[in-house]
Amino acid sequence: MSKARDTTINRIAREALGLETLEARNMDSLDFHDLSVWSIKEALERAYEAGRKSAPPTRTRCPACNRDIEIRPL
């Protein structure tokens, strides 16, 4: 994994899920957590948005005008 990806994943885990770390600490009380569905949903939404924003532009041919166009994530 890239450093930027790790940083984003760890930030989402910390901010949305309240997890101190994603590293295994080999203790059930530290490695297993009860999480609300809304916090899991928030974490997944943040991860989705981070991925969407990091996607490179796509080049394709416009079917209406047949020109080469670039599609960028919003």
Q: Which residues pair with 69 in a beta bridge?
A: 60
Q: Is the predicted pLDDT of residue 22 greater than 90, yes or no?
A: yes
> How much of the chain exceeds pLDDT 70, in percent?
97
User: Which residues form the domain of 15?
Assistant: 3-71
C-beta atoms surrounding 5 within 10 Å: 12
Q: Residue with structure tokens 């295994």?
A: 24
pLDDT at 30 over 90: yes
Determine the pLDDT at residue 37: 98
**Which residue's entry shows tokens 């770390």?**
21
Which carries the bigger pLDDT value, residue 33 or residue 52? 33
**Torsions phi, psi for 71 (to 5 deg):** -105, 125
How many structural domains is the chain composed of?
1
